[in-house]
Structure 1
Amino acid sequence: MKEHANVYFDESGFTGNRLLDSQQPIFSYAAVVIDDDEAIALVDHIIKKYKIQNGEIKGGKLVKNNKGRRAIDEILTSLNGKMRVSVSDKKYALAGKFFEYIFEPSLARLNSVFYKLNFHKFVSTMLYLEFVSRGAYAEELFEEFESLMRTGDFEGLKTLFSLGSDGLSQTMEYIFAFAVKHKNDVVKELDGYIGEGAGKWSLDLTNTSLHTLLADWGQSYKTLTAYCDKSKPLEADQEILNNMIGRTERIFSTFGDQEIPITFNLTESINLVDSKDFAGVQLADAVAAAFSYACNRENTDEYAIKWRGLIEDVVTYGSVFPDYDHIDPSKLEAQRNGMLLQELARRSTNNEDLLYGIQDFILGATMFLKSPEFALEQA
């Protein structure tokens, strides 16, 4: 492990809590580890070679034309091994937030059981699929939820839980039944948090992305000093990050079958700076723009394709994208989670205890799905 690194951060696709922004479907947050002199030299070289005006690299502008994409491509080549990126499909991220705030409060006592089954990914992916494919109601549901989380207006919550259910798919019926019956848990979870201070940015992805990237770099360096382009979400809340100042122990969180680092050692509070004054931040801006561009399915030029080829090497585990394997009806995991959602909806409708004996139900469902009788039935 190396001693110390300065890490420079910037984003692309920031729309705050407005995760349904159709013009910017991808949020990308990039981290670059580089010496100041090297960063300045690279930025000066790129500005002169590609005749970039205003003396500053702005990735969002560069990706809009072929010349700018050539400049970014040279930056990515120069930063090989020195960059990490967190990239998220914002619509899927909103679906994940829906599970976190609508389902999690009622399942909290045994939440580890559900997370190990990837139940959260099953529900989130089903919501996302409804949203992008055919679900007019799902779109309305998302818009109401986004508005609620952005404004803290609980009148919106009433609308969210009183929408009609005509024409829903069976899965959305189950999700809707669960949400309606447990709205009091949702209100209790959100009351006093959203709409003010840090809670104003409850749907924003900046803080989560920054924390993930710092934890990732913290596996390679004993201490880190972070420089971030000025950001309203970061200005609103740095409490968790400040708890990492001088943090020497290495703690991991077990998430499914993964061990994910959650601590790192900061030398000082996050530095919120003007990108014009920090070459490293400008490079992070270019990297973020590149992967936001590459991960947008509408972009199919040579650079988008080339940069997608880098994803496996530079995109971190904290990135959020739908994986349809989680709802593949041929897989036991998806079949079991479908049965579990149906059971939770049934218990909700009948006012039964959600969690009593639920582990026995899961075991029974697993045994049934593995049984010869079920296999024969599916043949």
Structure 2
Amino acid sequence: MPQRIYFDESGFTGNNLLSPDQRYFAYASVATDDEEAKEFVEKLILKYGIQGGELKGSKLVKFNKGRKAIGELLAKFDGKLKVSISEKKFALACKLHEYIFEPCYSAANSLFYGIGFHRFIANVLYIEFVARGVGAEQIFEEFEALIRTADESKLESIFSSSTHPENSLIIKQVREFAQLRADDIRGELQSLADTGVGKWALDLTNSALFTLLAYWGMIHPSIIAICDHSKPLQQSQGIFATMVNRSGEQMFSDLMGERQPITFNLAEPLIFENSKTSYGIQIADVAAAAAVYAFTNSNDEDAERWRGIIAPMGHYGSIIPDIDEVHLRDRRVQRNALVLFELHSRAKRGESLTDGMGEYMQVITRRLVSHPLIN
């Protein structure tokens, strides 16, 4: 029999990843069935006197009795929960690589993913942003506006608002690279419009659901996915439709530098239910809210305890910064910095970004062994 898996989110702000009120987005899943979920939810509501006849994680986290109920839920479904947790500003930095850099070398993108260049760009821009590097905030704001409006007329001058005498070299190179490769970026924007996903291009719901389903696909040969109502999911189900009644073994990809599942088998199309009547969705809602609470309230006793519980649940689909990706004493990071410099130089000279790039990466890799930029 197909395994029923329920999904819900917390911290949703759609395409607005710079929202100051919601730093994290969590998408949670629970593998259970209607009977088990109903029995547990009703007992929990009765035990803790929860009002409204429904578990709502955003309300439970606000009072002590509610947090006790959450703790009991996490313990009950330990091993049956998986959560995707994303830091939104870092997720926006990842999107910037996806829509500004990757289209410019898409013909040889495996070279760049293979050395972790996407992680370097995302993390270095995130560090610039959180450290309030001059111009970084303007780049993020302009990029988000570009994707949300798809206004191609400003591409040749994109990120101009970030121009400042105190710009770091990274900010300067990112701005100039984007302006010089405006045509590549324009093509990417047009493809988003053609596929109909442009409106939700920055939203994290689709990617979180997909990676969670791919995880569950390694455990269950057939899945029924039940989701809370979601505009991004309901308006863009194409990739999920291709997984319905999919035969054959599960497939994996090494493109992003580690082996990840990229297929799963849905017994039927995505099912959308109201959380009021779906007990499984209520459980997923509470788990998602607990994840957001745990990562937002760093000094809270419950948050600290929940982080230890939720962290092992949150590998697949999570988008969290990694300071090791910008540690300049690491030769791998030094290589990525040199690759950015080379891409910027080629863009200025109007040269191909991919011709001979594999050989260039090999040369600097060997060179950095004997002559590192920083010891």
Q: Shorter-normalised TM-score: what interval?
A: over 0.9
RMSD of the alignment, in Å? 1.7
Q: What is the TM-score of this pair, normalised by structure 2?
A: 0.95
1:229 is the counterpart of 2:225: no
- Look up the match of 1:17: 15
* CA contact 2:115–2:257 (8 Å) conserved in 1: no
C-alpha distance after superposition, 1:313-350 (max 9, x if no partner):
21133210110111101101100001111111111112
Deviation at 1:254, TM superposition (A): 1.2
Q: What amino acid sits opposite 1:280 in the alignment?
A: G
Q: Aligned equivalents of 2:113 and 2:368: distance in 1? A: 20
Deviation at 1:302, TM superposition (A): 1.4
- Look up the match of 1:189: 188
SS of the aligned residue for 1:212 comes to helix
- Look up the match of 1:109: 107
Distance 1:327 1:226, change over 3 A: same
Deviation at 1:299, TM superposition (A): 3.3
* CA contact 1:31–1:213 (8 Å) conserved in 2: yes
Aligned 1:330-349 pairs, distance under 5 A: 330-349=329-348
Q: Aligned equivalents of 1:184 and 1:126: distance in 2? A: 24
Q: What amino acid sits opposite 1:313 in the alignment?
A: P
1:141 is the counterpart of 2:139: yes
* CA contact 1:253–1:262 (8 Å) conserved in 2: yes
- Unpaired stretches in structure 1, ≥5 consecutive residues: none
Q: Aligned equivalents of 2:121 and 2:34: distance in 1? A: 45
C-alpha distance after superposition, 1:230-251 (max 9, x if no partner):
0000110111101111112211
Distance 1:141 1:58, change over 3 A: same
* CA contact 2:156–2:179 (8 Å) conserved in 1: no
Q: Which piece of structure 1 moves more, 126-135 or 113-122?
A: 126-135
Q: Which piece of structure 1 moves more, 26-35 or 159-168?
A: 159-168
Q: Aligned equivalents of 2:222 and 2:101: distance in 1? A: 37
- Unpaired stretches in structure 2, ≥5 consecutive residues: none
Distance 1:45 1:123, change over 3 A: same
C-alpha distance after superposition, 1:287-318 (max 9, x if no partner):
0011111122x432111111111234211332
SS of the aligned residue for 1:88 comes to strand
* CA contact 1:8–1:284 (8 Å) conserved in 2: yes
Distance 1:194 1:137, change over 3 A: farther
- Look up the match of 1:289: 289
Distance 1:195 1:48, change over 3 A: farther
SS of the aligned residue for 2:192 comes to coil
Q: What is the TM-score of this pair, normalised by structure 1?
A: 0.94
* CA contact 2:245–2:267 (8 Å) conserved in 1: yes
Q: Aligned equivalents of 1:332 and 1:299: distance in 2? A: 32
Q: Aligned equivalents of 2:69 and 2:265: distance in 1? A: 34
Deviation at 1:193, TM superposition (A): 2.3
Q: Aligned equivalents of 1:170 and 1:161: distance in 2? A: 14
Deviation at 1:151, TM superposition (A): 2.4
Residues matched between the structures, number: 373
- Look up the match of 2:125: 127
